[in-house]
C-alpha cells in the first residue's frame, strides 16, 4: 500500500510538471515576441529565465522518473542522487543567466533604448499570472525534495521578476524613464543569483556528503550514548543522499553480550535516530569494550584494515 501511495504521488507530480512545462513553453514564445517588439530587456530577460524554467522542469521530470528505478549492483543506493545533479545543473544555469543579464543591462544603462511601456505592462502582467500558476503546480513536495525545490524557486523567481518588470513599465509609462527597464533587469538578475546560490550551495554540500546543517553532532552522540547498553561511539558518519534521505554509520561500544541482546541495542539506537533526527537508514556496528576506538570521526586516509 505504501509503495502504491508513493507511486500515485509520483505520477501526480509528473502530470503537474508536464502541465507546467507546456504552459511555460507556450508563454516563452509569446514573451520573446513581445520583448522584441517592445524593445524591452526586462521582457527578454524574463523570457530567458522562463526558457531555463522549461529546461529545469524537463530535467526535474527526468530526475523524478529515474529515481523510481530500483537499486542494483552498480547503483546500490539507487538513483536518488539524480535529483541533486539536476538541482546543481539548474542552479548553475541560473547563475550564468544572471551574469548575462548584468552585461546586457549595463549596455542599456549606457544607451537606454525606447521602451514600449504598454506592452511591457500587459505581457508582464500575463507573465505574473502564468508563473504563479506553474509555481503552485510544482510546489507540493518541494519542501523535502531539492530537485523540486530548484524548479519551484525557478518559477517563484519568475513571479517576482515579472512583477518588477510590470512596476518598471508603469513608471516608464508615466515618466519616460527608459533606464528603469535595465534597472528592473538588474534587480531580477540579483534575485535569480540569490536563488541560484542557495540551491548550488546545498547541492554541493550533499554531493560532498557533508553533515546536514540542522544536525548537531555533539547532541547526536550524547543521545546515542544515552541509549541503554551503549558505552561508547566512534567512527561516526552522517550524510545525505537527498535533502530528505539521510544516512548514518557508526561503531557502538557495548558490553560483551549475546547477539540477540545486541540486536535490541541496535534497534533502540535506530529508533531514536529515526524519531529525533529523521535518519531512517543507519548502519550500526557493535564492538566490545576491549576494542580500541580510533576516534569519533574515522580518518579513512589511514591504512587501517578495521575500516
Q: In sequence order, what are the beta bridge partners of 287?
A: 253
Where, residue-wise, is CATH 1.20.1510.10 in the chain?
2-207
pLDDT at 105 over 70: yes
47-72 average pLDDT score: 76
Q: Where in the chain is the domain with CATH 3.30.70.1350?
A: 217-288
**pLDDT over 60 at 13, yes or no:** yes
Please give the radius of gyration of the chain, using alpha carbons only, rounded to the nearest integer: 25
3-state class of 156 per DSSP?
Answer: helix
Q: Give the lowest-confidence range in 65-69, 86-90, 165-169, 300-304.
A: 300-304
- Which one-letter DSSP state was computed for residue 215? -
Task: Give the residue from 216, 279, 289 showing the smallest Cα distance to 251.
Answer: 289
Hunting for cell 508563473 — which residue is that? 131
User: How does the average pLDDT of the chain come out, rounded?
Assistant: 79
DSSP 227: S
Percent of the chain with pLDDT over 90: 15
The model's pTM is 0.67
Cβ count near 80 (within 10 Å): 19
Residue 294 has pLDDT above 60, yes or no: no
CATH of domain 2-207: 1.20.1510.10
pLDDT digits (tens, 9 = 90+) for 209-260: 889 888 999 999 999 999 999 988 988 999 988 777 889 999 999 888 888 8
Name the CATH superfamily housing domain 217-288.
Cation efflux protein, cytoplasmic domain (3.30.70.1350)
Task: Point out which residues pair with 249 in neighbouring strands.
Answer: 237, 283
Q: What is the pLDDT of residue 114?
A: 74
**C-beta separation of 89 from 191 below 8 A:** no
Given this model, what pLDDT does residue 295 score? 61
Interval 116-165: pLDDT, tens: 778 778 887 888 888 788 888 777 766 666 667 777 776 777 777 778 77
pLDDT for position 4: 38
Q: Please tell me the distance from the alpha carbon of residue 276 to that of residue 266, in angstroms, as a whole number.
A: 15
Amino acid at each position: 500500500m505504501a509503495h502504491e501511495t508513493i507511486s500515485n504521488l509520483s505520477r501526480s507530480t509528473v502530470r503537474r510538471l508536464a502541465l507546467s512545462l507546456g504552459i511555460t513553453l507556450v508563454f516563452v514564445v509569446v514573451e520573446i515576441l513581445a520583448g522584441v517588439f517592445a524593445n524591452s530587456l526586462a521582457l527578454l530577460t524574463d523570457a530567458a529565465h522562463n526558457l531555463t524554467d522549461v529546461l529545469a522542469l524537463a530535467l526535474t521530470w527526468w530526475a523524478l522518473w529515474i529515481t523510481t528505478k530500483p537499486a542494483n549492483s552498480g547503483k546500490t543506493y539507487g538513483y536518488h542522487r539524480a535529483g541533486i545533479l539536476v538541482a546543481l545543473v539548474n542552479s548553475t544555469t541560473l547563475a550564468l543567466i544572471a551574469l548575462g543579464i548584468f552585461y546586457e543591462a549595463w549596455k542599456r544603462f549606457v544607451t537606454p533604448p525606447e521602451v514600449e511601456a504598454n506592452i511591457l505592462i500587459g505581457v508582464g502582467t500575463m507573465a505574473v499570472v502564468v508563473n504563479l500558476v506553474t509555481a503552485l503546480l510544482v510546489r507540493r513536495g518541494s519542501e523535502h525534495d531539492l530537485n523540486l525545490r530548484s524548479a519551484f524557486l525557478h518559477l517563484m523567481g519568475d513571479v517576482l521578476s515579472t512583477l518588477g518588470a510590470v512596476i518598471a513599465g508603469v513608471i516608464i509609462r508615466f515618466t519616460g524613464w527608459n533606464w528603469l527597464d535595465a534597472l528592473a533587469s538588474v534587480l531580477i538578475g540579483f534575485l535569480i543569483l540569490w536563488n541560484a546560490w542557495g540551491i548550488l550551495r546545498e547541492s554541493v554540500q550533499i554531493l560532498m556528503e557533508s553533515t546536514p546543517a540542522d544536525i548537531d553532532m555533539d547532541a547526536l552522540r550524547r543521545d546515542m550514548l544515552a541509549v541503554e547498553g551503549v558505552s561508547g561511539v566512534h567512527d561516526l558518519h552522517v550524510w545525505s543522499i537527498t535533502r530528505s534521505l539521510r544516512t548514518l554509520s557508526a561503531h557502538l561500544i557495548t558490553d560483551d553480550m549475546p547477539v540477540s541482546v545486541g540486536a535490541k541495542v541496535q534497534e533502540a539506537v535506530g529508533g531514536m535516530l529515526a524519531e529525533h533526527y529523521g535518519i531512517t537508514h543507519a548502519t550500526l556496528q557493535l564492538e566490545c569494550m576491549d576494542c580500541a576506538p580510533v576516534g569519533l570521526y574515522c580518518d579513512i586516509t589511514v591504512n587501517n584494515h578495521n575500516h
